[in-house]
């Protein structure tokens, strides 16, 4: 590689039938794998530069060095957009000419060592000859525009502003329909004046060709005419087609003008539409710019600027609708009714907080938003934000881009047909950001009631009032929502359902719906409580009821099949637990009960997952060794630190636990969390880990009917945790009789369903000593955190005689 700054090594993008000039922005669709790899490599470069070069033969699919011209254009890679069909849309802007010195195959793309041709150009001194050449070129270009219908007249105005001869030549060459060989010839000519002179010759020749073709089309053919009864000559047919097309365009303009006049629009929107309509009337209907302007006018006219639906503000009716559609969810429904009550007193639904329903899948977040829309009589539109990475999907694309369209918010308003719908922004926690921007940042303006009355979509480019829209968002994971966006939301958490809730939902909503959907409405099908309990415990494991409905549907489908196969006309089916197992086969999940007997080194912890609460076993085994500790179970960093903190606490309490001072140097400990394929993290297993360690070291069994959750400090303090409701529900489902939880979480006990609280003894704890007294079987212990008379144990040589101690 030369040290000459004009010598560069660049990725190569071969083009079919396209020659890119400097000062020219071109949208391209790229499908070849090597070309896509070259684009990605160029985008990662600091200058984002790439060499675009035309192919000698456009049919060559995998071009090599002989298949490409030796002069190309160094361009800058702009936006890259991957399309659903696998191709890539990219905007490249030409910068400088470059001559290819040699090709370099850098898998998976082709590179080339090039020499910049324009870099050493001297400034052309001003002279009378140069000015005459500029005038001559502009006149030739203007004459070409008169005979060509492919170039908008607006291009002439931009050309008139260019003085530099090289840039003037490149700009005009980019708009004239030359053949590939002629365009490549102009690209190869580096001297600006020489290039401009050759361009004038080619433009004049192209203009003469187009004028001759036009005269031939208009010339009547001998022996033909209207009186002969034969087909009219080609020239007349073309003229008639053009006249008919002009009349059709004129009629469309008249209809468009009436729509603009009749449409209720804000003053700003009306003025903008009138300007765009005036511009459209002066355009050639076949030009690309006319299509862009027409599409823009259609979009502005399709929006419901001043059209609002009438609200039904009746809290009593809304409460009945919410109760009819959803079982439970008392807290979310109460908050929604409070919101509607305030709006009823105000007389209209105005500005207010944006509700964010957070909870595991299948608990009814989306259907709750639908019920809100039905309760207040508004249109409902759902926008899924899962996987959105482009800011333009929220704000839209600017009209300067090819194929630009408005964003999702404007699309939703068009679908709703009113300016005050209920818009559900679903899965707001699934958005992410990349080089195309941060869509969550674009939502800040949309969801902020203080500024969304003048929301501007990049495509529409007009202020749109979103203050009357009722936005509701949903998420599974609150931590995945950026804090700036959380600040604009009122968080309402939806916890998982208890087994009793699921039975009620199944009986009242899911079973009747699945019976109807599977064509059994004329057949007497009844599900017993035992059948629903079996489906819940043995075939589903979730916080919501989505899989429960699927399993009920599976039972109904099998009943429908057997009903049609039955020789006798059986009109009644009773589905009990045995019938469920016969129809669905072996249960998918074992009942996650706690251990049936007390065990040493095994503790019932509690965790919260994406599907609600779950029982988390902690196992500790020890063998003679030298103090090595092994952790298994696919643990995160926080949980690994919890194990270390628990071990440090045990070592600090060795005296009170009856352990030798150097006990940890005589054994190897293995801490394991079963179901090792499932990732686990978080600090709330701290006291469960501590209990398991103490049980293994002291050989005292852990009560099998006790579960616990809480973070532990080095001093043994038990710190608060999250998700207490879900954890206690999981403990109840597993048959646990007693749950130990941090005392600071007592404020969360009221959220736990009453039937669960009645079945489980909830014990708040502040220190690990309390946990150990409640969790371990101490009946046969000589001394344990009490005032002992002294005792001696001999187990793996790690215990020694302990003097009298004082309880802490």
117 contacts: CB under 8 Å, gap ≥ 6? 71, 96, 97, 98, 99, 190
- The helix/strand count (H/E) of the chain reads as 27, 24
Q: Which residues contact 196 (CB under 8 A, 6 or more apart)?
A: 133, 134, 137, 165, 166, 168, 169
Interacting residues of 320 by C-beta distance below 8 A, sequence separation 6+: none
d(CA 580, CA 533): 10
Q: What is the DSSP string of 401-441?
A: STT----HHHHHHHHH-SSS-EEEEETGGG---BTTB-HHH
* DSSP strand pairing (455-456 vs 463-464): antiparallel
Q: Angle formed by the axes of helices 192-218 and 180-188, to 10°?
A: 160
Q: Which long-range contacts (CB under 8 A, 24 or more apart) does 248-257 make?
A: 249/285, 253/277, 253/280, 253/281, 256/280, 256/294, 256/297
The CA-based dihedral angle spanning residues 233, 235, 238, 240, taken in that order and rounded to the nearest 10 degrees: -70
Report the alpha-carbon distance of residue 65 to residue 460 in Å, rounded: 46
What secondary structure does DSSP assign to 621-662, as a single string? Answer: EEEESSS-EEEESSB-HHHHHHHHHHHHHHHHTHHHHT--TT
CA-closest candidate to residue 173, choices 100, 73, 90 = 73
Query: In this structure, what token pair is assigned to residue 356?
Result: 């964010």
Rounded distance between C-alpha atoms, residue 607 and residue 616, angstroms: 6
Q: Residue with structure tokens 């459209």?
A: 280
Residue in the structure block whose two tokens are 């394929």:
677
Active-site positions? 684, 727
Angle, helices 192-218 vs 165-175, to 10°: value is: 30
Copy the structure tokens of residue 105: 């195959």
Q: Which two tokens mark 199?
A: 């361009």
Close Cβ partners of 738 (under 8 Å, ≥ 6 residues apart): 703, 705, 706, 707, 760, 761, 763, 774
Residue 128 has, within 13 A of its CA and on its CB side, a CA count of 0
CA–CA dist 184, 196 (Å, integer):
14
Distance, C-alpha 416 to centroid of its chain: 22
Phi and psi at residue 185, in whole multiples of 5°?
-60, -40
Q: What is the DSSP letter of 345?
A: H
Residue in the structure block whose two tokens are 């006309």: 569
Going by their DSSP bridges, the two strands 706-708 and 738-742 should be labelled as parallel
């Amino acid at each position: 590689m030369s040290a000459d700054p004009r010598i560069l090594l660049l990725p190569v993008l071969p083009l079919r039938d396209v020659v890119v000039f400097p000062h020219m922005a071109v949208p391209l669709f790229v499908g070849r794998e090597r070309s896509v790899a070259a684009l990605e490599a160029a985008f990662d470069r600091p200058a984002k530069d790439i060499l675009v070069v035309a192919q000698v033969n456009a049919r060559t699919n995998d071009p090599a060095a002989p298949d490409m011209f030796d002069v190309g254009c160094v361009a800058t890679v702009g936006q890259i957009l991957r399309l659903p069909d696998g191709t890539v849309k990219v905007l490249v802007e030409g910068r400088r000419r470059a001559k290819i010195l040699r090709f370099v195959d850098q898998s998976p793309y082709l590179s080339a060592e090039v020499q910049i041709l324009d870099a050493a150009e001297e400034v052309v001194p001003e002279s009378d000859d140069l000015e005459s050449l500029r005038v001559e070129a502009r006149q030739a270009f203007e004459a070409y525009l008169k005979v060509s219908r492919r170039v908008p007249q607006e291009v002439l105005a931009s050309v008139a502003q260019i003085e530099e001869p090289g840039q003037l030549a490149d700009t005009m060459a980019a708009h004239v329909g030359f053949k590939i060989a002629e365009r490549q010839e102009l690209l190869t000519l580096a001297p600006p004046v020489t290039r401009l002179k050759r361009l004038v010759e080619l433009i004049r020749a192209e203009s003469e060709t187009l004028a001759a073709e036009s005269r031939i089309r208009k010339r009547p053919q001998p022996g033909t005419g209207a009186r002969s009864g034969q087909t009219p000559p080609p020239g007349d047919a073309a003229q008639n087609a053009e006249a008919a097309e002009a009349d059709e365009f004129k009629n469309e303009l008249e209809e468009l003008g009436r729509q603009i006049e009749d449409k209720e629009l804000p003053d700003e929107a009306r003025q903008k539409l009138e300007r765009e309509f005036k511009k459209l009337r002066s355009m050639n209907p076949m030009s690309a710019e006319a299509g862009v302007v027409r599409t823009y006018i259609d979009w502005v006219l399709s929006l419901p600027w001043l059209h609002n639906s009438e609200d039904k503000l009746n809290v009593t009716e809304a409460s009945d609708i919410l109760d009819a559609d959803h079982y439970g969810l008392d807290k979310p429904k109460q908050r929604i009714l409070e919101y509607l009550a305030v709006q009823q007193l105000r007389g209209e639904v105005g500005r207010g907080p944006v509700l964010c329903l957070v909870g595991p899948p299948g608990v009814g977040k989306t259907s709750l938003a639908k019920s809100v829309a039905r309760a207040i009589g508004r249109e409902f539109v759902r926008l899924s934000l899962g996987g959105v990475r482009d800011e333009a999907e929220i704000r839209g694309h600017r009209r300067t881009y090819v194929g630009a369209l408005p964003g999702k918010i404007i699309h939703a308003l068009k679908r709703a047909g009113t300016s005050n719908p209920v818009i559900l922004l679903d899965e707001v926690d699934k958005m992410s950001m990349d080089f195309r921007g941060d869509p969550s940042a674009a939502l800040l303006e949309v969801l902020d009631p203080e500024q969304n009355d003048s929301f501007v979509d990049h495509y529409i480019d007009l202020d749109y009032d979103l203050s009357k829209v009722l936005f509701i968002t949903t998420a599974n994971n609150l931590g995945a929502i950026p804090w700036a966006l959380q600040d604009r939301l009122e968080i309402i958490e939806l916890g998982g359902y208890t087994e009793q809730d699921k039975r009620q939902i199944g009986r009242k909503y899911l079973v009747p719906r699945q019976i109807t959907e599977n064509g059994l409405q004329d057949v007497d099908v009844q599900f017993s409580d035992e059948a629903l309990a079996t489906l819940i415990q043995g075939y589903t494991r979730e916080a919501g009821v989505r899989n429960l409905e699927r399993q009920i549907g599976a039972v109904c489908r099998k009943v429908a099949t057997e009903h049609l196969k039955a020789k006798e006309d059986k009109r009644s089916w009773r589905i009990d637990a045995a019938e469920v197992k016969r129809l669905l086969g072996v249960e998918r999940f074992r009942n996650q009960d706690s251990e049936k007997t007390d065990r040493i080194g095994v503790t019932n912890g509690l965790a919260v997952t994406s599907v609600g609460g779950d029982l988390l076993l902690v196992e500790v085994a020890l063998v003679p060794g030298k103090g090595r500790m092994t952790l298994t179970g696919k643990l995160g960093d926080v949980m690994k630190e919890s194990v270390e903190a628990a071990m440090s606490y045990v070592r600090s309490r060795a005296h009170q636990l009856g352990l030798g001072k150097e006990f940890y140097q005589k054994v190897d400990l293995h801490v394991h969390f079963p179901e090792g394929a499932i990732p686990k993290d978080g600090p709330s297993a701290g006291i469960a880990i501590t209990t398991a360690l103490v049980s293994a070291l002291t050989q005292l069994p852990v009560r099998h009917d006790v579960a616990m959750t809480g973070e532990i400090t080095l001093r043994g303090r038990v710190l608060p945790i999250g998700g207490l409701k879900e954890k206690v529900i999981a403990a109840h489902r597993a048959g646990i009789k007693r749950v130990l939880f941090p005392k600071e979480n007592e404020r969360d006990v009221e959220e736990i369903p009453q039937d669960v609280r009645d079945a489980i003894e909830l014990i708040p704890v502040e220190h690990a000593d309390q946990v150990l007294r409640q969790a371990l079987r101490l009946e046969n212990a000589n001394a344990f955190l009490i005032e002992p008379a002294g005792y001696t144990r001999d187990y793996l040589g790690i215990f020694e005689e302990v003097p009298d101690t004082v309880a802490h």
